Amino acid sequence: MYRAPLRELRFVLEELLGIGTLSAYPAYADYSDELGTSILEEAGRFAADVLAPLNHTGDVEGAHWSAEGVRSPAGFKDAYRRFAEGGWPQLGADSRFGGQRVPQALSSAVQEILASANLSFNLCPMLTHGAAHALARCGSETQQRLFLPKMISGEWSGTMVLTEPSAGSDLGQIRTRAAREGDHYRLFGQKIFITWGEHDFTDNILHMVLARIDGAPAGTRGISMFIVPKVLVAPDGSLTERNQVRCVSIEHKLGIHASPTCVMEFGHDLGAVGYLVGEPNHGLEYMFVMMNTARLAVGVEGYAVGERAFQQAAEYARTRLQGKPPAARAPGPAPIVEHPDVRRMLLTMKSCTEASRALSFYAGTQLDLGEHHPDAKARTAALERGELLIPIVKGWCTETGNDTAAIGIQVHGGMGFVEETGAAQYLRDVRITTIYEGTTGIQSNDLIGRKLGRDQGAAMRALVTDMRRELQALETPAAAGQVRDAALQAVERLERATHALLTGMAENPAHGFAVSVPYLKLCGLVVGGWLLAKSAAIAARGLRGEDRTFYHAKIRTAHFYATHVLPAAAGLAQVVEAGASSVLETDAECI
């Protein structure tokens, strides 16, 4: 059984980040903490009552392909109908086209709830939201008027269509071609790994497709983006005839079985009608608008599955009687949660999930400030920080989610290795999150190549300075003070590692890429530690109130993170500072 961690979500949003203050900005004038709580409670009910019961059945049944299309597992189509009728696709979408503007951190909190309940289901509206965001930013007025209201209402869905059999992450190798025909184009090509590329949820699917216009330059400079509807749309918004777009097969995957991963064919004969978004040869730039939205969302999905794995593991540990712990007082077997190592595993799951959640919501808040803060200098700084954090959120939170789901199996022991308990599904499902929207290596290359490289580390140094200043200013009692001190030490290690990384890259760019993943993980660990130290300080002030049990648990979880998880920062920093040569000096023949 899944229960949304509403109190924890409210703590991060209201007490740690204070997103209620965003109501001072015109875009969020109608927002309040009370509204946020109401939305979270409704999302929790929908997730527990509708989505969570379909998680296992959808995994067992899977999506069904036929020449006529793709059919979702039993119950999924009705769940989507209820999802759309409840107005959930409108949350966080552009208000000009029927959306409800709320802070990004709240949208991420709802994403977490839905993904914890049913990752396969959540992938469809998550991608639709990203496609709508890209269209709102980059599409023409006609395209926005014609497509966005139906996407934001949930009547139509959207996809991200990049990958080809010969062009995985190297998008410069894309071969799908687009030929001009009047006011539109005809597309020809095949795409793979298209999540929810075909389904029975909606009457229409809008594919955001990367293709190369005939005669365009080679490489990424020649890529354009097109809207390719499954069913063509008349000027009045009504559906007309079926476009030349079809799903020729779906993949048989390790996890997310209920989510169809499609091989899509565009233009088997006359070509698929597509509409150019923006200017020719700027497609990758436009797609990154959607991709960054998706990267933040996938980072949330990674730790969200970890949250679900933790909930199940904790419940199992409380009810499973096995063995006698060293300090047991009562005779006979005890719940395994009383065994020190089981408790250690559960605290690892809990603390890493809480750190990931805080990091993800903090990044979203920076993006909000980067768009809406009245001061131009503050907007620029916040946007740079939000962009700096996106690859960290995507990379570290998904890697952490994988580790958490694996520990969940270990808590179950042998029962975790059999499908009937459900623990294995979380590990199978979450595995894709480290691959979606670019692998962890691609995220780390983005972090050091683009985000650190564009300003020679200025945004990271500003973050380090702010973390150090805030930690030094914390007034904390004993346990919370230990968390603060550990976080300060980790910040110092990150600062030294960043300096070493930039110095090494100045001499040889390959130096940084050889240790980029350890550096990304170091960043996630340290920023998570900083936010948990702040959380512990806040919790220490609430120990005398009615919620003292919750606040006490917050302090203990943060203390565990500081003593069991954060020490890994020292090892990662050492790898960043001295580990590149062992990679670069090893020839491929030696592997």
Q: In 10 A of CB 23, how many CB atoms?
A: 16
Query: Which one of 437, 470, 495, 585 is the catalytic residue?
Result: 437
| Structure letter (DSSP) for residue 448 | I
Amino acid at 157: S
Phi, psi at 163, each rounded to 5°: -70, 140
Residue 142 host element (H or E)? helix 141-153
| Structure letter (DSSP) for residue 216 | P
Whole-number percent of the chain with pLDDT over 90: 93
Residue 307, CA distances (Å) to 148, 179, 367 in order:
33, 47, 24
Q: pLDDT tens across 437-470, in order?
A: 999 999 999 999 999 999 999 999 999 999 999 9
Q: What is the DSSP string of 284-348?
A: HHHHHHHHHHHHHHHHHHHHHHHHHHHHHHHHHHHH-B-S--TT--SSS--BGGGSHHHHHHHHH
10-residue block means of pLDDT along the chain (591 residues)? 97 98 95 98 98 98 97 98 98 95 97 98 97 96 98 98 89 94 97 98 98 95 97 97 98 98 95 98 93 95 98 97 83 92 98 98 97 96 97 98 98 96 98 96 96 95 98 84 95 98 94 97 98 96 90 97 98 97 92 89
How far is residue 313's CA from residue 417's CA, in Å, rounded to a whole number? 13
Give the fold, CATH level 3, of 156-280: Butyryl-CoA Dehydrogenase, subunit A; domain 2 (2.40.110)
Its CATH class, for the domain covering 6-153, is mainly alpha
How far is residue 572's CA from residue 550's CA, in Å, rounded to a whole number? 32
pTM: 0.97
Q: Are 333 and 550 in contact (CB under 8 A)?
A: no
Q: Are 400 and 352 in contact (CB under 8 A)?
A: yes
Query: Is 371 marked active-site?
Result: no
Q: What is the DSSP string of 44-105?
A: HHHIIIIIHHHHHHHHHH--EEETTEEEPPTTHHHHHHHHHHTTGGGBTS-GGGT-B---HH
Which of 137, 288, 119 minimizes the C-alpha distance to 195? 119
Q: Please state the domain extents for the chain.
A: 6-153, 156-280, 447-585
Q: pLDDT tens across 164-208, in order?
A: 998 888 888 999 999 999 999 999 999 999 999 999 999 999 999
Helix (H/G/I), strand (E/B), else coil: 574: helix
Q: pLDDT tens across 340-367, in order?
A: 999 999 999 999 999 999 999 999 999 9
